[in-house]
Amino acid sequence: MITAVARFRDLVERPAGEVDLGEAALTIAAAAYPDLDVPEWIHVLDRLAVGVDDLAGLRARLFADLGLRGDADAYYDPDNSFLQRVLQRRRGIPISLSVITMEVGRRAGLQVDGVGMPGHFVVFVPAEEVYLDPFGGGTVLDPERMESLFRLATGAGAEVAFGPEFLPVVTAHEILSRMLANLRALYRASGAASDLEWVLRMRLLLPNVSAAQIAGLGEALAAQGRLTEGATELERYAERHSEQAAGLAAAARALRARLN
């Protein structure tokens, strides 16, 4: 059976505009839930779009009928990052709720873009020039509320001018990277090395890989007692990332030294 990481590779090797965001996000969830039936949950997204004709219908379906909203009480629960658990529990974090909104909207024939605000994530509907906050129950955000949300999320004071540069429309690759970054932070904090391993393996399949992310994979393997494998992985990545080769080679040597 193909592993979740291998399937994720197949999905994200395509140009960002051709990536099936919903399937890729569900494949992230399948790494944490190996028995997850990804095609069945894709059908759930399909069914949610049936009968939705416009933005008002999308908001009604997801936030009134389904009752999706932000999970402020257990914000850092990893389940808030997994689409099937968000749909089951009707609770999530900004990015997972936004992905559901985007994917149901796409199936209904609506363009819904992800917007990677600093410290928050919302969606934009170009046809109506409207921003929505899925974490806030699908609230429509006027310019004043957008600025208020930005300042609340970042702590920025009045000396920081709010403008369009803080509202970038992001690609599927960038959204998946951000979802994995959230999980990386959670699993690092909890010391869940085996979960951190698959998160980093997926992240390393996406663009703009950092030396810290590569080194993190080595450390995640080492934390599971797999020092030789960790060193080998670092050496393999050093061969492919010449600008980071020296640091990665040094990290690999440090892992091998721990074998003695």
pLDDT in tens, 99-122: 999 999 999 999 999 999 999 999
pLDDT of residue 241: 86
So where are the chain's domains?
4-166, 172-257
pLDDT band at 250 (very low <50, low <70, confident <90, very high): very high
Phi and psi, residue 169, nearest 5°? -75, 130
Q: Is 195's pLDDT higher than 80?
A: yes
Fold of 172-257: 1.25.40
Region 132-142: mean pLDDT is 97
Q: Are 140 and 132 in contact (CB under 8 A)?
A: yes
Region 151-162: mean pLDDT is 92
pLDDT of residue 259: 87
Tell the residue number behind the tokens 């099936």, with chain if given. 20
Q: Is 1's pLDDT higher than 70?
A: no
Q: Is 158's pLDDT higher than 60?
A: yes
For the stretch 200-213, pLDDT in tens is: 999 999 999 999 99
Contacts for 127-133 with beta carbons within 8 Å, 24 or more apart?
127/55, 128/55, 130/55, 131/167, 132/59, 132/101, 133/94
pLDDT band at 243 (very low <50, low <70, confident <90, very high): confident
Residue 124 pairs with which residues in a beta bridge?
113, 131
Sign of the dihedral defined by the CA atoms of residues 52, 21, 170, 133, in that order = positive
Given its phi and psi angles, is residue 240 left (phi above 0), alpha (psi -120 to 50 degrees) or beta? alpha
CA distance 122 to 107: 19
pLDDT of residue 2: 66
Query: In Å, what is the CA distance from 107 to each residue of 20, 48, 51, 201?
Result: 12, 9, 11, 30
Tell the residue number behind the tokens 């890729």, with chain if given. 24
Q: What percent of the chain has pLDDT over 70?
A: 99
Q: Give residues with Cβ within 8 angstroms of 237, minimum separation 6.
A: 204, 214, 217, 244, 248
Lowest mean pLDDT among 17-21, 92-96, 193-197, 240-244: 240-244
